[in-house]
Amino acid sequence: CALPISPTVTLTVSKATATVMLGNLSQTYTGSPLSATATTTPPGLAVSLTYNGSSTPPTLAGSYTVVATVNDPNYTGTATGTLVIAKAAAAASVTSNVNPVLLQNAITLTAKVTSSAGTPTGSVTFLDGTTAIGTSTLVSGVGTLTISSLAAGSHSITAAYSGDANFNVASSAALTEVVQDFSFSISAPSETALPGI
């Protein structure tokens, strides 16, 4: 007699769904790569992160789409968010190589732009009050302007940094530059002549 045939049964166990929460999505440029964080429920699951499709955390200021994916044999889960890296703050200062200066003599104004996050790039505009008197491209955070056209009197000189991809704009405190005029007069000696002499 024929033996009964036992049917084959395939048991499929699906992965459980885990919850993923993203954090550290708002940061400020530091000059180093910046990463988001991910926590899971249940806790402690392995998670991979991508930033605009790349596994390398970004460094530059900007917005990046973050995708977190659970890597676990028993759980599945994903979350999407946006990592925003804000521009870093910068500070500007301005100095003069001669102050006071005689009218029509040249002075060199030097602007320095610094930041704890690195060396800003871009340009700086020198202002006499609200009037721009020249622009300089920063080299290692320093810009210079040589000028001899300031009028006699007191001038409020500032340096305005334009900002770049990673650093915010900045303005220096005012430098009071004094331009001195020079004048002289020649007077002939006077003499009184008496009549008949």
Residue 191, pLDDT above cutoff 80: no
Residues facing 80 on adjacent strands: 67
Over residues 97-151, the pLDDT tens digits come to: 999 999 999 999 999 999 999 999 999 999 999 999 999 999 999 999 999 999 9
DSSP state, 30?
-
User: Tell me, what's the pLDDT at 37?
Assistant: 98
Query: Does residue 185 carry a pLDDT above 80?
Result: no
Residues 6 or more apart from 13 whose CB is under 8 A from it? none
CB 180 within 8 A of CB 152: yes
| DSSP structural state of residue 194 | P
pLDDT (average), residues 11-36: 95
Cα separation of the two ends of the chain: 173
The pLDDT of residue 11: 72
